[in-house]
Structures are given as structure tokens and as C-alpha cells.
Amino acid sequence: MSPKARRGYKAPRNRSEVWTAVAVAVAIVLATGILVWFVRPNRDSGSSTTTTTAPAATSSTVAGATTTVPATSTPATSTP
């Protein structure tokens, strides 16, 4: 038998380096999951029903612009 066969298997890396790499990978996955959880949209809703609200009308004033107001109809009143 050759001298290499008697010594046994030598791992290419130290076990502490492997455990450190595994710990860092787990920390990255956990941090990503936590960030996704806290930054998700509608996190305050708490209920399973989805409510949709219409966006509020916004107005802006631009110099030289005219504002158009939608016409409102008033009911015609008849006097007897």
C-alpha cells in the first residue's frame, strides 16, 4: 500500500470554515425572509378581505391654466 492510502482522507476544507459558511448562508436567508415579511404591501390590513378605495381627486394649480368644474344639475322645481 502506498503511504497516501494509509493516511486516510483529508478534507479539502477545515470544518470550522464549512460551519461558518453554513451559518452565514442561513443568516442571509433569514434576513431576506424577515425583510420580505416586514416590507410587504398591505401588512396592516390583518383581514382576508380586500378593500379597494378610489383614489382621491387631486388638483394642481398651473400658472395660466384654467380649471374646468364638472357641471352639476339641479332639479327643476315647479311651483303650483
Domain that holds residue 31: 14-40
Examine residue 31 and state whether it is found in any structural domain, yes or no: yes
In a domain, 29, yes or no: yes
Residue 2 belongs to some domain of the structure: no
In a domain, 26, yes or no: yes
- Considering its fold, how many domains does the chain have in total? 1
3-state secondary structure the chain: CCHHHHHCCCCCCCHHHHHHHHHHHHHHHHHHHHHHHHCCCCCCCCCCCCCCCCCCCCCCCCCCCCCCCCCCCCCCCCCC
Say if 61 falls within a structural domain.
Answer: no
What would the pLDDT profile of 32-70 be if each residue is shown by its tens digit? 999 999 999 886 665 555 556 766 666 666 676 666 666
What average pLDDT score do residues 12-34 get?
96
Would 36 be classed as within a structural domain?
yes
Q: Is 21 contained in some domain?
A: yes
In a domain, 74, yes or no: no
